[in-house]
């Protein structure tokens, strides 16, 4: 099964999206959570957010992962000469990293493409070190977002707002916060791995 439709794959790699994601969305999505140390990005695509992440956060070493090998290849080209970025092919539901490997895990607009998204949250909790943070944003399941994805035909499992906070808590993450935005079509989230 394809990870995303050709249209959405094209959109995520397009220069306009790269500009919007890096310049307008990144700061909003990170909600002031400091990015220092080992940072893991799930479903980072071709690196739209990652490019700006390392520019704005000089104290982090970023591992960018994606399930789609086309995206991974594009990210590898983008960061070929950037020693602070490692690009890995990885499924968010079965991360190839040992427990407690990361200070921060970020997830931007990707969870709704992970059919087993609860399993991805379990993996986030596993690979975070005690005190580590999970932060990012996604779409909310609404008639509008469902309609767009139905038309686009990308495999997806949109998440209702009321589902996310309990799901984060069930993985053992604490202080989970979910805030809707953009006319309740999107939600930003943060959670912390307890000591």
Give the residues lining the site for ligand SAM (CB under 6 A).
3-4, 12, 21, 42-45, 48-49, 66-68, 71, 91-93, 108-110, 113-114
Q: How far apart are CA 185 and CA 165, in angstroms?
A: 16
- In whole angstroms, how close is the CB of 187 to ligand SAM at the nearest point? 15
Q: Collapsing DSSP states into helix, strand and coil, what is residue 74?
A: helix
Q: Which pair of structure tokens corresponds to residue 27?
A: 């700061």
- In whole angstroms, how close is the CB of 98 to ligand SAM at the nearest point? 18
Q: Which pair of structure tokens corresponds to residue 166?
A: 């309990």
Q: What are phi and psi of 178, to 5 degrees?
A: -130, 125
- In whole angstroms, how close is the CB of 194 to ligand SAM at the nearest point? 25
Cβ neighbours of 52 (radius 10 Å): 19
The nearer residue to ligand SAM, 43 or 194, going by C-beta atoms, is 43
- In whole angstroms, how close is the CB of 12 to ligand SAM at the nearest point? 4
Q: Of 59, 58, 21, which Cα lies nearest the Cα of 136?
A: 21
Strand bridging mode 174-181 / 186-192: antiparallel
The nearer residue to ligand SAM, 175 or 182, going by C-beta atoms, is 182
Q: Which residue is nearest to ligand SAM (CB)?
A: 43
The nearer residue to ligand SAM, 39 or 131, going by C-beta atoms, is 39
The nearer residue to ligand SAM, 108 or 118, going by C-beta atoms, is 108
């Amino acid at each position: 099964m394809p990870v995303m439709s050709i249209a959405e794959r094209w959109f995520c790699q397009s220069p306009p999206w790269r500009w919007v994601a890096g310049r307008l969305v990144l700061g909003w999505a990170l909600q002031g959570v400091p990015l220092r140390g080992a940072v893991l990005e799930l479903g980072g695509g071709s690196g739209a957010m990652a490019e700006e992440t390392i520019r704005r956060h000089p104290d982090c070493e970023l591992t960018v992962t994606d399930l789609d090998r086309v995206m991974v290849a594009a990210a590898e080209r983008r960061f070929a000469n950037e020693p602070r970025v490692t690009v890995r092919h990885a499924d968010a539901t079965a991360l190839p990293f040992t427990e407690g490997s990361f200070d921060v895990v970020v997830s931007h607009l990707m969870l709704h493409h992970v059919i087993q998204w609860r399993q991805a949250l379990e993996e986030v909790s596993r690979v975070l070190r005690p005190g580590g943070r999970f932060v990012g944003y996604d779409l909310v399941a609404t008639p509008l977002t469902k309609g767009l994805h139905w038309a686009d035909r990308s495999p997806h499992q949109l998440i209702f707002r009321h589902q996310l906070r309990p799901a984060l808590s069930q993985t053992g993450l604490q202080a989970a916060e979910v805030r809707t935005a953009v006319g309740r079509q999107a939600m930003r989230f943060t959670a912390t791995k307890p000591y």
